[in-house]
Structure 1
Amino acid sequence: MAQYILTHLTPNPYLITVLLLLGCLVYKFNNESQVYEKFEYVRGGVFQRKEVHEIVHDGYHTISKRTKRPFVVNWWAKRYIIMPTHYLADLKTADWGHLSFFTNISDALFLHTTVGDLYTSHKSERMVDIVKRDINPRLPQLAPIMKQEVDSALEKTLGEFTGWKEVNTMALLSRVAHQTATRVLIGEELCNNESFIKLTTSFLESIFVTALIIVKLPLGPFRGFLASPLSLVHKWKLYRCKKILLPIVKRRIAERKGHKGNPADVLDGIEWTLARVPEGSLVDTPETITTELLHALWAGSSAPGGMMTEVIYQMLLGEEYQETMRTEAIEAFQKFGWGEKMINVLHCQDSFIREVNRLYPTGAITCSRTVVNRPFKFSDGLVLPVGARLGFPIKASQSDADNFKDPDKFDGFRFLQQGTAEGGTVENKRVWSAASMDINNLAWGYGNHICPGRFFAVREIKMVLTKLLLKYDIKWQNKNRVRPPPIHVEGQFIPNMKQTIFLKRRESVAVIDMI
């Protein structure tokens, strides 16, 4: 019996070799793969010794700037065409489903292994519509709700203390961002449920970690096949989150059918999602809706926490920024109180946030797209076939002297001055705002797939920063005044996760008891 097993079940090296060769041949002559051969491939040296952001920087300056042509890099274990920024204009005119961000991110992070067609079906458009048509118009109404969750998250994380309290910056601000997003995108039933908050935090982190495991292992042509078993732990985390959320979704569906209550009075993602589900839909089950809500939560909570962290780090590097923004916050609060009007006059904060995103974006590549359904023709005649992947070099272009004066110097009020220089009108200030879409402000993407949640995110950052500035003195132990180094992972920039800050309640501020 043992001999039979050894003879028949031991992998045949010849068979494995043949399969590998066949896989390579299929890839070589695949129409999609041939397009990458048209452009120069920028490598990171032997065994990819350079980081992705360094490779993109090299390609931008040695190829795109010199020849105006795209180049190719390896990103998320796939080849990507990195486009010169003059091609950005075509993203504005491309159909939603023709150059697809959702198809791209689903493939890059292997999301289809756990959520099926969530990112390639009508559900992806619904997730965007909920932000664009339900959240954004209601931002003034949501302001007091968001403030309540910011207060709650800070109180739970900090507790009661006197004197200076040391806290982990990333952990504190990620919790605030996650709880606030949970209230808006899920609802008040679970935003203060510690078990749900912890489970969803672990689930959201595992999306990125699982993708990294899949792309970093030397799986070659078997990567796609092995992605599903490698995603089992992540799938289990998704199941545990759904187990808590699903009964609430089912109850809300039943209440809508029974016409109990007024859905218009409910301000949360569950209600907005159910309102957009076609009546009698057979594909939108309670289970799929629950999965959709959890992935909307991922989109709404991950980026703001990191951005807040980078803003705090940069503010502490320059004491003059902290005092200027504190003075602005006190004046705005005393004049308007908490709300939309206060947020809208925080121009120094707005410029500061945009400058942080310019010099310290969340990644080296943005506006990633996949050509879907039919070839895409750019305005200069360049044609990319179906399946081709592309992106734009955000870090390199936003640090280019042709685009910005003193590009490597952080100037927190750069865009405040820019708006004033052009007349300081409401329109000009909007052009230079942190949430604006501009070829030199790619933090939120560009074109039809620009992040619809950017207005929510900027307001949340301002709200948290204002709360901290009004209520606490803030400092850190950083005598050398060196920016805490981020973690570089697959072209992404993750804020330093070890850096701590010290907070002390401000006794001298007259408005402290009102906030």
Structure 2
Amino acid sequence: MESSSASAGLKENMIDVAARLTDGQKTLLYFFSLCWLVVVLGRRFRRSGSGDEVPVFGYRSMLEPSFVLRARFAFGAKSMIRAGCAKMKDQPFVLRRWSNDVLCLPMKYLDELRLKPVSQVNLAAAQASNFVPQWTCLHVLTSSRLHVEVLKQKLNPQLFHFVALANEELDLIWNLEMPKADGKFYPLDILQKLVSPISSRVFLGRATCRDPRWVRLAIDFTIDAFLTACTLNLFPYWSHFIIARLIPARRRVLKHLRVAENTVRRLSQEHAAVKEARDRGEEIGEEEDTLLNWMLDNGSPSECVPSEMGPRQCALTLGSIHTTTLTTLQLLYDLCDHPEWFPVLREEIDSLANELGGPGEKPSVTTREWCNRLEKLDSFLRLLVGQDVNLRDGLRLRSGTIIAFPSCEYQFNPDKYRDSTSFDPMRSYRLRRSSPDQRNNHRAGMTHPTNLTFGYGNQACTGRHFAVAEVKLIVARLLHEYDIEFVPGQSRPRTFHINEISFTNPYAKLMMRRRRRKEVLSC
């Protein structure tokens, strides 16, 4: 009764206020109301340029402003993407972010876009925009393609030569970093200390990869660049000028870049001195084979100055150390979540070690043979637009549009795949064994419409095969030498999300126990 009286009183007051407004005030009120309605409704659609309207997904009501939707996406992206895929089915939709909106496309567009030239669909530009390059100094990701060409023309053609160098470094660092006693350990910290030097051996050479300052820089630059970018992406562009100066991680990024520039300057001078000595006809020893030396020999003068090459080396660590470490960590979590698969993988690894010795132990056994014969582990591992682009069905992608494919939601869609939610890490293994013509297919590192872990098409991750080899070497050695499990009473560490990027808990621990020699020999 009291509520009804209050509502009636409020209604009478509003009518009274409206009656007292002058005609000019009423006109002004109507005008602002109309503007609000246009803004709210207009922002629900993204014009495609060809007359089509792609709906914006996620608004809770007709009156929710876009800035609220963008703020909700920052910490609720995962559930928003899942809900969008469930509701929109095979239709495109837009997701609002503070940095830039994302056009989420159904998988039916994947094959049409995969072979578009870089001038039309530019993956590097989209990745760079996520890192806010004007504040993280990662403009080198788009200013040239030297860091991509070195992977295509140097690393991939000589893949297992460099994998052997990485394994040689792993032999050395293993005894220094791996726990000597049984107990609880931070797996992320251990993996970073393994991956950083073995990747740096290939990028910069033996001396630099054993320099503690560089090993630490390669780890910390990735962390600080992500922290800076993720913090900035929580705020609109116009505020970055102020916010960037308040982020401690950005100041550390600038410090890392100065160290990287000095390191590259020293290595460049050493390389130039070797070339000059050869030109003079002097007899000198064979120079170490590194990706940096190839870049110095094949890059333009502007690309090779230390102020450009230093950030470029940091960009390479960004794409290698972070992804390799987290892939290995998630694989270990999967195994601890499903311990019944430990014996399956360990049987393959132990029998291979008994037959061939460890990777690199016997000169007659190449690292290529070792990695290629880890078929079950391989199966376990496999578990931006530059110009206007017109697609066959009339959808037009405007220049500057960030596009994405919800591959995870597609893979777990029961309408697309039978038993899509069941944990079956041997799917690819069985597919390879299903017929002789499939023996070399369905391998980790291969791109496929059903697995976009490394991208797809002509812009898929160039260094993915080296990353897979690194993961295999590390995991094989871990399972061969250690028993690993969750800390008693604990389960899989929670994964955190900022926008569409996921982060694992860096303080999570695992139990590790050295396997006794008789346990290894009995397998």
Q: TM-score range by the shorter chain?
A: 0.7 to 0.9
* More moved, 431-440 vs 36-45: 36-45
Q: CA deviation at 1:52?
A: 0.7
Q: CA deviation at 1:81?
A: 0.3
Q: Where do 5+ consecutive residues of structure 2 fail to align?
A: 1-37, 61-67, 360-366
Contact 2:167–2:473 (Cα < 8 Å) also in 1: yes
1:485 — aligned with what? 494
Question: What SS does the corresponding residue of 1:137 show, helix, strand or coil?
Answer: coil
Q: Deviations over 1:27-78 (max 9, x none)?
A: x999x97449921111275551761111111111110x2xx32101124632
Contact 2:98–2:237 (Cα < 8 Å) also in 1: no
Q: Deviations over 1:386-435 (max 9, x none)?
A: 111111112211211133222222112122122223x1x3x514321111
Question: What SS does the corresponding residue of 2:94 show, helix, strand or coil?
Answer: strand
Aligned AA (1:484):
P
Q: CA RMSD in A?
A: 2.9
Q: TM-score, normalised by structure 2?
A: 0.80
Question: What SS does the corresponding residue of 2:468 show, helix, strand or coil?
Answer: helix
Q: CA deviation at 1:169?
A: 1.2
Among 35, 54, 57, the residue aligned to 2:79: 54
Aligned length: 456
d(CA) in 1 for partners of 2:382, 2:291: 27
Is 1:343 matched with 2:362? no
d(CA) in 1 for partners of 2:446, 2:294: 25
Aligned AA (1:87):
Y
1:377 — aligned with what? 390
Is 1:331 matched with 2:345? no
Q: TM-score, normalised by structure 1?
A: 0.81
* More moved, 138-147 vs 459-468: 138-147
Q: 1:84-483 to 2 correspondence within 5 Å?
A: 84-115=106-137, 117-121=139-143, 123=144, 125-158=145-178, 161-162=180-181, 164-217=182-235, 220=236, 222-223=238-239, 225-226=241-242, 229=245, 231-259=250-278, 266-278=288-300, 281-337=301-357, 338=359, 339-355=367-383, 370-372=384-386, 374-421=387-434, 423=435, 425=436, 427-479=437-489, 482-483=491-492
d(CA) in 2 for partners of 1:264, 1:440: 45
Aligned AA (1:336):
L
Q: 1:311 to 1:394 in 2, by over 3 A?
A: same
Contact 1:249–1:290 (Cα < 8 Å) also in 2: no
Question: What SS does the corresponding residue of 1:333 show, helix, strand or coil?
Answer: helix
* More moved, 460-469 vs 226-235: 226-235
Question: What SS does the corresponding residue of 2:158 show, helix, strand or coil?
Answer: helix
Aligned AA (1:38):
E
Q: CA deviation at 1:255?
A: 2.4
d(CA) in 1 for partners of 2:283, 2:323: 34
d(CA) in 1 for partners of 2:276, 2:413: 56
Contact 2:99–2:237 (Cα < 8 Å) also in 1: no
Contact 1:170–1:495 (Cα < 8 Å) also in 2: no
Q: 1:319 to 1:106 in 2, by over 3 A?
A: closer
d(CA) in 2 for partners of 1:206, 1:321: 35
d(CA) in 1 for partners of 2:138, 2:503: 27
Q: CA deviation at 1:495?
A: 2.7
2:14 — aligned with what? none
Q: CA deviation at 1:225?
A: 4.1
Contact 1:252–1:271 (Cα < 8 Å) also in 2: yes
Aligned AA (1:385):
R
1:77 — aligned with what? 99
d(CA) in 1 for partners of 2:214, 2:115: 41
Aligned AA (2:379):
S
Q: 1:305 to 1:116 in 2, by over 3 A?
A: closer
d(CA) in 2 for partners of 1:314, 1:283: 41
Q: 1:405 to 1:116 in 2, by over 3 A?
A: closer
Aligned AA (1:211):
A
Aligned AA (1:222):
W
Contact 2:219–2:321 (Cα < 8 Å) also in 1: no
d(CA) in 1 for partners of 2:193, 2:303: 33
Q: CA deviation at 1:244?
A: 3.2
d(CA) in 1 for partners of 2:289, 2:196: 17
d(CA) in 2 for partners of 1:433, 1:447: 16
d(CA) in 2 for partners of 1:262, 1:474: 48
Q: 1:228 to 1:487 in 2, by over 3 A?
A: closer
Contact 2:140–2:312 (Cα < 8 Å) also in 1: yes
Q: 1:71 to 1:33 in 2, by over 3 A?
A: closer
d(CA) in 2 for partners of 1:103, 1:261: 45
Aligned AA (1:309):
L
Q: 1:502 to 1:44 in 2, by over 3 A?
A: farther
Contact 1:328–1:348 (Cα < 8 Å) also in 2: yes
Larger Cα-atom Rg:
2
Q: Deviations over 1:341-390 (max 9, x none)?
A: 011011110111111xxxxxxxxxxxxxx221x31122333211211111
d(CA) in 2 for partners of 1:383, 1:133: 34
Q: CA deviation at 1:312?
A: 0.6
